[in-house]
Amino acid sequence: MPTTAELMVNDLSVQFGGLKAVNEVSFSLEPQTLAGLIGPNGAGKTTIFNALTGLCPVTGGEISFNDNKLTNQPPHTIARCGIARTFQNIRLFNNLSVLDNLRIAYHKNRRYSLLCGLFRSPRFHREEAEITARAKEALDLVGLADKAEHLAGSLPYGEQRRVEIARALMLNPQLLLLDEPAAGMNPHETQTLLELIRQLRDNLKLTILLIEHDMKLVMNLCERIFVLDYGHLIATGDPRSIQSDRRVVEAYLGGSRP
Ligand SMILES: Nc1ncnc2c1ncn2[C@@H]1O[C@H](COP(=O)(O)OP(=O)(O)OP(=O)(O)O)[C@@H](O)[C@H]1O
Ligand SMILES: [Mg+2]
């Protein structure tokens, strides 16, 4: 039986002044797909993530997730619908512990009132304990349980990227967007990341869309690949068909452009 798409992107456009960074892009994702979004520098990949998470205005088209219209909704509404992300440039508080970086991510969802917090009510203590337990669970999922008390800025780059993933998991997402999760990693760290991403999909039943320049990672991991070039979606398919697609090869080798 065919599954229904979870994420639907129809004719999405994002224009910055005279530049159409994303130009009428349409694609969909079915639940629990591991998908890749690739393309040369400046192709519009991060802009698509920004549009999906409410961080840049959509100038045309529509985004829906589980039938909720998300076009131009604020980031917190989108997060509440089940979409979380990591950033191309790591955004951690370097001088806070790893655990506190995760706790902060969840704090805007706290249910106790400011007064409860000020007077340290039983409700405050109960919810704080729940948030800490959730943060430890998220760290465990990314294999960093033993780094909870370390300062985020003191961790090697590869581990900081995994903290970012754990922080996104704090929001209990259904769709996880990863912007260049392997950037700056050595081959061993990249292989560990590949296994982690697979486990997250399998164990948490997540749908994952990742932007990545590491073609070995993308081709080994992703079941479906979308290729962007100058804001246009030029190919969609499985790794084999993408690798032999003439337009994709031309985009990467700098051949003739559409
Ligand atoms: N806020 C913005 N204002 C103006 N132009 C922008 C803005 N954000 C992105 N752009 C431009 O839009 C285009 C697409 O940028 P984007 O960051 O989405 O590319 P990318 O595919 O993620 O590239 P990379 O692989 O280098 O990260 C680029 O030309 C970029 O300069
Ligand atoms: Mg980018």
Q: Which residues does 76 contact at the CB level (< 8 Å), separation at least 6?
A: 108
Is residue 124 included in any domain, yes or no?
yes
Residue length, the chain? Answer: 258
Q: Which residues does 118 contact at the CB level (< 8 Å), separation at least 6?
A: none
Query: Token pair for residue 244?
Result: 């032999």
42 lines ligand 1 (CB under 6 A): yes
pLDDT of 257 > 60? The answer is: no
Is residue 157 included in any domain, yes or no?
yes
**Taking all residues of the chain, what is their mean pLDDT, rounded to a whole number?**
91
Q: How far is 189 from 184, CA to CA, in rounded Å?
A: 9
Is residue 244 included in any domain, yes or no?
no
More confident residue, 95 or 128: 95
21 lines ligand 1 (CB under 6 A): yes
Is residue 187 included in any domain, yes or no?
no
Is residue 155 included in any domain, yes or no?
yes
Q: How far is 67 from 76, CA to CA, in rounded Å?
A: 17
Give the domain range for residue 112.
91-172
Is residue 135 included in any domain, yes or no?
yes
**Residues 97-122 pLDDT 10s:** 999 999 988 766 666 666 666 767 77
Q: Which residues does 44 contact at the CB level (< 8 Å), separation at least 6?
A: 14, 21, 22, 23, 25, 228, 230, 231
Is residue 149 included in any domain, yes or no?
yes
Q: How far is 5 from 27, CA to CA, in rounded Å?
A: 10
Q: The domain spanning residue 148 has which CATH number?
A: 3.40.50.300
Q: How confident is the model at residue 1 (pLDDT cuts 50, 70, 90)?
A: very low
39 lines ligand 1 (CB under 6 A): yes
CA of 89 from ligand 2 middle (Å) equals: 9
Percent of the chain with pLDDT over 70: 91
Q: How far is 44 from 27, CA to CA, in rounded Å?
A: 14
The pTM score is: 0.92
Quick check: helix, strand or coil at residue 245?
coil
Of the residues 14, 19, 37, which should be mutated to test ligand 1's pocket, given the most ligand atoms within 8 Å of the CB? Answer: 19
49-53, 119-123, 202-206 — which is least confidently predicted?
119-123
Strand-strand pairing, 19-29 and 7-16: antiparallel
Percent of the chain with pLDDT over 90: 79
Please give the pLDDT value at position 258.
46
**CA 207 from centre of chain:** 10
Q: How far is 203 from 221, CA to CA, in rounded Å?
A: 16
Is residue 225 included in any domain, yes or no?
no
Place of tokens 């690739």: 38
**Residues 58-99 pLDDT 10s:** 999 999 999 899 999 999 999 999 999 999 998 899 999 999
From 18, 171, 205, select the one nearest 86 (Cα to Cα).
Answer: 171
**How many structural domains compose the chain?**
1
Q: For ligand 1, atom 29, which residue shows the shortest CA distance? A: 42
231 lines ligand 1 (CB under 6 A): no
